[in-house]
Amino acid sequence: MSEIWDRLRHVTDPELDESVTELGFVTTVEVDAVDHVHIQFRLPTYWCAANFAFMMADDMRAAVSAVSWVSGVSVVLGEHMYADKINRGISQGQSFQEAFGSEANGDLSEVRRTFLLKAFQRRQEALLSQLLARGYRPEQLVVMSLAELEVLLVERQGQDLVGRYLERREIVGPCSPDAPAFLSVEGWRLPADGLEAYVRGLRRVGVNAEFNGALCRGLLSVRFDMTTPLPERPKMNPS
């Protein structure tokens, strides 16, 4: 079971770039007698964006399906205005466009890329701010390779920032060992002159995401009782 929760921990809300487990969205994870995983989740409001909800459900299904011993995955969204369509679409392996038909607005791949780039910017700002605070000079950072970044000796918090940044680095360019560690969202090398101003500009992306994250947590807490432990559910029996 811990392996399943670990996989879910790496699934993020596309807008907030925070784990669905840390946000409190996942309420139930069960494994039945034939190793089929059943996941239930909820969102802060009844009307949370359908495309974001669908992406999270699909990402949960894909992440858990990759576990070698899992025979199948069911993901169920509860208490949402589009829950029936989302749950049916996920269970049938449909795309967002197939599930919503004429109601689908735009291509999810473009929406996903937009928010992956925002996540990249937020993680890059956090890492660069940490490295600058530790005394690394802009001239060092802009020529640093990915191989050098991966072996950088930093404390635990810094290691976490490096790991999270590397998870999103490929979205802006090739990730060969000798590739630049830090690029802009357009794939350009960052200039040493003005790097600190560049980082300050990125900070606005992080501030907006942090505000939205706090808002979502507040709405979720108001909508659901987040203090009383969830009741024990009966063990599943083989069908």
pLDDT in tens, 46-78: 989 999 999 999 999 999 999 999 999 999 999
Which residue carries 């197939």 as its tokens? 98
Q: Where is average pLDDT lowest: 40-49, 134-143, 159-168, 228-237?
A: 228-237
Nearest to 56 by CA among 84, 114, 96, 2: 96
- pLDDT, greater one: 107 or 199: 199
Residue 22, classified by CB atoms within 10 Å of its CB into exposed (0-12), middle (13-18) or buried (19+), is: middle
Model pTM score: 0.81
CA atoms within 13 A on the CB side of 114: 8
Provide the pLDDT for residue 223. 72
Provide the pLDDT for residue 230. 42
Nearest to 224 by CA among 75, 12, 25: 25
Q: What are phi and psi of 48, to 5 degrees?
A: -50, 145
pLDDT of 143 > 90? The answer is: yes
